[in-house]
């Protein structure tokens, strides 16, 4: 059952990916900083925390280009929690670089945390008690469908200097069984280390989820439609994707020209051979959804539009312009998901080129959609439906998403940052001021109040909008390959006054949690 009970319980929450949390190791993690943020949510009366995909990131550090569809990001493992377990010494962890406070240097973080995670793994296998060893064995058994392949994939990738799998020698690229058996023996130490890192991630995430549940905070996760070409699953099952004999994609994902780009967005993910997935009742996709729901309470289906029809771009194309619409799996996939999983606690990200057929698919399975207030006042064809007086109760409304500018960045923009002209921006701002009866001051709080007052069952604000940050705090710029996903907050941003302001508004509009905050944040 959908724990958000969309349409019957009024909730509000904050979008903040764990990499953006405060923390001592150059990136947010699942330790004290995550609990402090959950405590901030509780103090602010918020009962939802939305995150991006929790997978290990690959190209461009994007959580939408993961190295696996099932694994967790080892960079989120808290080193301090490993110290508490006796797997690292305080002196080792104390030798930290001088990290930037408000951004992530992924390369430096990977080198620092990777070294210490390997050390913690070695000590675990040397010192772990029988009970902890049994915990590890149970974990490996529970994840046996994907974990061995992922650990081998990552070890092979390291052996090849980080090169993508399609550039490996034929035996490894083509998964020759005899060759893989030899490689597994050769790489066994690194395979064990990567397996331990997954064990640590899943244990720490499970503990954080329990911490949030005790505070009536529902976790909203994110299931990307597509996988990265350079991922364990594409390497393991190339027959499920449009690839040629060398592993190069013949059709890739993206979207046609849109708000963000006049040439569309060329994502580059390989497209599924949907008939191949349908052959066994979409088992691969069912297991992806099952794994996501084991981590969070509700799953946002990224690019829901692609389930009905998707934009297919020839492999090697320079832009997304020359793509074409292809029919997606549609109702047959969701019937399989419902049969396997029961009621579907999904939110459909129904943004972009949305047709009546897309909305009919969403309605057929009772999936709440999304509304983005930033898109309500411009030229977006969906704009009218994004205005609060048109919201359905069973929807999730946002001030913006991880792909948007912040509200204050959007408000300060003069155009030229997307497909909007200067005249478009002028009309958009005039429309927003009139609709919201606003002066233009503190537009982030104007947006927050308007959403809280709406009939939408759940409303979510990126943390950047709660803090009133500008474009410098933007999480992602669609269509750009570098400089994204780096945003972080500092511990000093979690101010009691900010929490109190958000709680006051949330109480005013019937969204604040009635539960008293637990006394301990640990």
Active site residues: 302, 349, 403
Q: Is 236 helix (H, G, I), strand (E, B) or coil?
A: helix
- Burial of 480 per CB tally in 10 Å (0-12, 13-18, 19+): exposed
End-to-end CA distance of the chain: 29
Backbone CA torsion sign across 373, 377, 379, 382: positive
CA-to-CA distance for 325 and 302, rounded, in angstroms? 18
Q: Is 103 helix (H, G, I), strand (E, B) or coil?
A: strand
Q: Is 56 helix (H, G, I), strand (E, B) or coil?
A: coil
Q: Where are the alpha helices (DSSP H) in 392-455?
A: 407-412, 422-436, 443-453
- Side-chain half-sphere exposure of 55, counting CA atoms within 13 A: 28
Measured torsion, CA atoms of residues 79, 81, 83, 87, in degrees rounded to the nearest 10: -90
Q: List residues bridging with 266 in a β-sheet.
A: 254
Q: List residues bridging with 103 in a β-sheet.
A: 487
Residue (of 140, 145, 172) closest to 158 by Cα position: 172
For strand 458-462 and strand 395-398, is the pairing parallel, antiparallel, or unpaired?
parallel
Q: What residues contact 480, with CB distance under 8 A and at least 6 apart?
A: none
Do 6 and 395 contact (CB within 8 A), yes or no?
A: yes
Residue (of 289, 277, 270, 292) closest to 332 by Cα position: 277
- Side-chain half-sphere exposure of 352, counting CA atoms within 13 A: 22
For strand 48-50 and strand 346-348, is the pairing parallel, antiparallel, or unpaired?
unpaired
Residue (of 416, 451, 430, 453) closest to 377 by Cα position: 430
Tally Cβ neighbours within 10 Å of residue 353: 15
Q: What residues contact 197, with CB distance under 8 A and at least 6 apart?
A: 74, 77, 117, 121
CA-to-CA distance for 345 and 203, rounded, in angstroms? 23
């Amino acid at each position: 059952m959908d724990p958000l009970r969309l349409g019957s319980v009024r909730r509000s929450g904050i979008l903040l990916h764990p990499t953006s949390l405060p923390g001592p190791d150059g990136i947010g993690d699942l330790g004290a900083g995550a609990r402090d943020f959950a405590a901030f949510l509780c103090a602010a009366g918020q009962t939802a925390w939305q995150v991006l995909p929790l997978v290990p990131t690959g190209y461009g550090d994007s959580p939408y280009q993961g190295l696996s569809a099932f694994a967790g990001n080892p960079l989120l493992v808290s080193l301090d929690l490993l110290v508490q377990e006796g797997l690292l010494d305080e002196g080792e962890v104390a030798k930290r670089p001088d990290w930037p406070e408000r951004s992530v240097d992924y390369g430096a973080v990977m080198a620092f945390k990777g070294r210490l995670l390997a050390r913690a793994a070695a000590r675990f296998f040397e010192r772990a008690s029988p009970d902890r060893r049994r915990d590890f064995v149970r974990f490996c058994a529970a994840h046996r469908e994907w974990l061995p392949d992922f650990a081998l994939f990552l070890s092979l990738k390291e052996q090849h200097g980080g090169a993508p799998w399609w550039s490996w020698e034929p035996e490894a690229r083509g998964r020759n069984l005899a060759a893989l058996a030899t490689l597994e023996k050769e790489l066994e130490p690194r395979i064990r280390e990567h397996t331990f890192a997954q064990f640590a991630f899943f244990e720490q995430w499970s503990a954080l989820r329990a911490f949030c549940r005790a505070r009536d905070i529902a976790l909203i996760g994110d299931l990307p439609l597509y996988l990265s070409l350079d991922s364990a699953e594409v390497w393991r099952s190339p027959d499920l994707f449009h690839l040629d004999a060398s592993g190069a994609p013949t059709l890739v994902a993206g979207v046609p020209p849109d708000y963000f780009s006049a040439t569309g967005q060329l994502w580059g993910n390989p497209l599924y051979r949907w008939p191949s997935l349908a052959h066994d009742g979409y088992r691969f996709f069912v297991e992806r959804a099952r794994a996501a729901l084991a981590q969070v309470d509700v799953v946002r289906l990224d690019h829901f539009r692609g389930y009905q029809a998707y934009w297919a771009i020839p492999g090697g194309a320079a832009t997304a312009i020359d793509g074409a619409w292809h029919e997606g799996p549609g109702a047959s996939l969701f019937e399989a998901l419902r049969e396997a999983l029961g009621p579907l606690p999904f939110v459909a990200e129904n943004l972009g080129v949305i047709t009546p057929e897309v909305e009919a698919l969403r309605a057929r399975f009772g999936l709440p959609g999304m509304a983005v207030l930033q898109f309500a006042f411009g030229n977006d064809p969906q704009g009218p439906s994004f205005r609060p007086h048109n919201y359905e109760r069973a929807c999730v409304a946002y001030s913006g998403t991880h792909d948007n500018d912040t509200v204050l960045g959007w408000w300060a923009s003069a155009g030229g940052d997307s497909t909007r002209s200067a005249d478009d921006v002028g009309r958009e701002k005039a429309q927003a001021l009139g609709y919201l009866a606003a002066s233009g001051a503190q537009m982030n709080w104007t947006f927050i109040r308007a959403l809280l007052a709406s009939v939408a069952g759940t409303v979510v604000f990126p943390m950047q909008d709660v803090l009133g940050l500008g474009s410098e705090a933007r999480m992602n710029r669609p269509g750009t390959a570098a400089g994204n996903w780096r945003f972080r907050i500092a511990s000093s941003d979690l101010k009691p006054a900010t929490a109190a302001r958000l709680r006051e508004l949330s109480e005013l509009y019937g969204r604040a949690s009635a539960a008293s905050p637990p006394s301990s944040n640990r």
